[in-house]
Structure 1
Amino acid sequence: MRLIKLKDVMYTTGLARSTVYKYMNEGNFPKPVSLGERNVAWLESEIQDWILEKIEQRDMAAA
Structure 2
Amino acid sequence: MYQLPESGFLRLPQIIGDQKRGIPAVIPVSKSTWWEGVKQGRFPKPIKLGPRTTAWNVADIRALIASA
**Of 5, 8, 18, which aligns to 2:32?**
18
In percent, how many aligned pairs have the same letter? 28
Name the counterpart of 1:2.
Answer: 8
Name the counterpart of 1:60.
Answer: none
Name the counterpart of 1:38.
Answer: 52
After superposition, give the CA deviation of every residue in 1:5-58 in whole Å (9 maximum; x if it has no partner).
00011021112111110100101110111011121000111111101111xxxx
CA RMSD of aligned residues (A): 0.9
Flag the structure with higher helix content: 1
Name the counterpart of 2:20.
Answer: none
Structure 2: stretches of 5+ with no match in the other structure: 1-6, 17-24
Q: Which amino acid aligns with 1:49?
A: A
What's the TM-score once normalised by structure 2's chain length? 0.73
Runs ≥4 residues deviating over 4 A: none
What's the TM-score once normalised by structure 1's chain length? 0.78
